[in-house]
Amino acid sequence: MTAWIAEVPTHGSVELPPDPHALDALGRNHSLETALADLVDNSVDAGAGNVLIRFIRNEGRLIGLYVVDDGKGMTPEGIDTAMTLGGRRAYDNSDLGRFGIGLKAASFSQAESLTVLSRASGHPAVGRRWLHEQDRTTFHCDLVPAEFAETELGRPWPFSTSTSGTVIRWDRVAGFPAVEDSQQVTTFLTRSVEHLRGHLGLMFHRLLAAGRVRIMIDAEDITAGTGVPTEVTPIDPFGYPKPALGWPRTLIADSPRGPLKIVCHLWPRKSNAVEYRLPGGAENRQGLYFYRHDRLLHAGGWEGIHAPDKKLQLARASVDIDGDLAGMFVMNPEKSRVTAGADFAPAVTAARADDGTTMSDYLRAAEEMWSTSNQRATAQRRAVIPPGKGLNPKVVREILDELPQLPADSLNILWAKFDSDDFFEVDRATQTLRLNNRYRAAILGGRRGGLNDVPLLKATLFLLVENVFQGAHLGARDKDNIELWQNILTAAARAELASHVGRS
Ligand SMILES: Nc1ncnc2c1ncn2[C@@H]1O[C@H](COP(=O)(O)OP(=O)(O)OP(=O)(O)O)[C@@H](O)[C@H]1O
Ligand SMILES: [Mg+2]
């Protein structure tokens, strides 16, 4: 056995600065939305009242992006720390910043070139630039002339940056479409703005609702001018119109790091409101919502407390991880995910509300709320014949979800050859609504037919005629309705045919 030497011996040291390629590894988990949220964090920390995200186009192409704020800006010394990887400052206990890498990691995850132009009150404007792919062996940052910084800060932004403010400029953004096709770029832009509004509206909902910051998004065509900005509005995942009776309840657990508070909310029922649906879909947004300094970091998931379950989708609980509690959690550098440490699960198990409610009581209540609210909604509705052949499976699923069903053979809606011009035929013997093939091509309007074709028309017909398939025989009222629909729908079908023939 070799003797254990407690101290490792050394003989001098060698300097090993990080290879600049280390930059490549940064921000790999960023999307455009999370990267921009990281820049908004910096603006919020700088006390900005206004933030603008501006896409820059040149005719067809997207060529760059700005994030501008009217916060306190950076001094000529401050900007060098800001550009330094891991350059940290003294953080307040309400600051969103933490690692000293956000600006660089977020920017290089999306763009080849990062330019920062800033002015602190009473100081001259300053500018710096980092190029991602510069062939370098050192970490030299480019100096940008003060006049250029002045010019960029002085562009016509929707708010003033003349006292203080910061302009972050991205050039050569990898995620932008490289095409010149104006239509495609417009589609990309519309979609990006929509995603951004969803993501930022959710992540910053508390700060936006409290009026601490306004976030605007617009696009400027350098040859044609600036479009109208859209404002990011708060999306509160707990924004139900009326709370469920007896909820929310706050569960508290003592942990070695201080009291852990879990505010357990229940949506009274599923809803079409954007606050319920949320980007990513309500079903994926059940569970825990972690906030740090009022910024939402992580929206949903059970962190091992429970598996995701359709029946738990009304349950959303918020946890504020401020102060000493922060040690219980690990936040990824992109600030888009929080992982709970080993002491979280026992704390959750131990947590109780004033009235003794536990986490498992909460989950049980959530399941109950889901099934009763669903039953209540559907039970009040008139039962229908189950949908059968000819209807799109998604339509069938929705009908089954929304309406109680009669114990009867299912109703088919199928095309058939008719001798007459009638648009449809009710065949109660086979529980089939037949549609006249004559009109099929006109209604398809060039699309391909199939068993489940024209879902919109068939769903509408299902809702309209399903009732006449109920009961032992056709009543006088049913017969009159069938005649009425036949006259009107046949006229409509003929009109479809005429306009189709007219076109081809
Ligand atoms: N918009 C801005 N206005 C004023 N100062 C800024 C702005 N953006 C960045 N800074 C300065 O640059 C520094 C570095 O920003 P960066 O995002 O890289 O790190 P951080 O915010 O300190 O920490 P984190 O990595 O957690 O984001 C900030 O601490 C801040 O001093
Ligand atoms: Mg930051």
> Within a domain: residue 434?
yes
**Residue 359 and residue 428 in one domain:** no
- The answer to whether residues 266 and 244 touch, using CB atoms and an 8 Å cutoff, is yes
Report which protein residue has its CA nearest ligand 1's atom 28. 82
Q: Which atom of ligand 1 is nearest to the CA of 89?
A: 29
Question: Which residues span the domain enclosing 363?
Answer: 249-376
Structural domains counted in the chain: 3
Q: Is 89 in the pocket of ligand 1 (CB under 6 A)?
A: yes
Shared domain for 185 and 74, answered yes or no, is yes
Residues 100 and 173 in one domain: yes
For residue 20, cis peptide bond before it (omega within 30 degrees of 0) = no
> Are 200 and 274 in a shared domain?
no
**Gyration radius of the chain's alpha carbons:** 30
Find the CATH number of the domain harbouring 174.
3.30.565.10
Does 448 share its domain with 478?
yes
The residue nearest atom 8 of ligand 1, judged by CA position, is 42
Residue 8 lies in a domain: no
Q: Is the CB of 99 under 6 A from ligand 1?
A: yes
- Among residues 306, 313, 348, 307, the alpha carbon closest in space to that of 329 is found at 348
Half-sphere exposure of 327 (CA within 13 A, CB side): 8
Helix residue ranges per DSSP H, 278-387: 344-350, 359-379
Q: Is residue 12 part of a domain?
A: no
User: Ligand 1: does its nearest atom lie under 6 Å from the Cβ of 251?
Assistant: no
The answer to whether residues 424 and 337 belong to one domain is no
Within a domain: 175? yes
Q: Could you tell me if residue 358 is inside a domain?
A: yes
Are residues 104 and 226 both part of a single domain? yes
Do both 480 and 351 map to the same domain? no
Boundary-marking domain end, from 231, 266, 292: 231
In terms of Cβ atoms closer than 10 Å to its own Cβ (0-12, 13-18, 19+), residue 175 is middle
pLDDT tens sequence for the chain (504 residues): 789 999 999 998 888 877 777 777 777 789 999 999 999 999 999 999 999 999 999 887 999 999 999 999 999 999 999 998 877 777 787 888 878 889 999 999 999 999 999 999 999 999 999 988 765 566 778 999 999 999 999 999 999 999 999 999 999 998 898 888 888 999 999 999 999 999 999 999 999 999 999 999 999 999 888 888 999 999 999 999 889 999 999 999 988 888 999 999 999 998 888 999 998 888 899 999 999 999 999 999 998 889 999 899 999 999 999 887 778 888 888 888 888 888 898 899 999 999 999 999 999 999 999 988 877 777 778 899 999 999 999 899 888 878 888 999 999 999 999 999 999 999 999 999 999 999 999 999 999 999 999 999 999 999 999 999 998 889 999 999 999 999 999 999 999 999 987 665
Residue whose CA lies nearest to ligand 1 atom number 7:
42
* C-alpha neighbours within 13 Å on the C-beta side of residue 193: 23
**Are residues 168 and 51 part of one domain?**
yes
| Mutation test residue for ligand 1: of 42, 50, 52, 70, the one with most atoms within 8 Å of CB | 42
Whether 69 is in the pocket of ligand 1, judged by its Cβ within 6 Å, is yes
Ligand 1 centroid, distance to 73 Cα (angstroms): 10
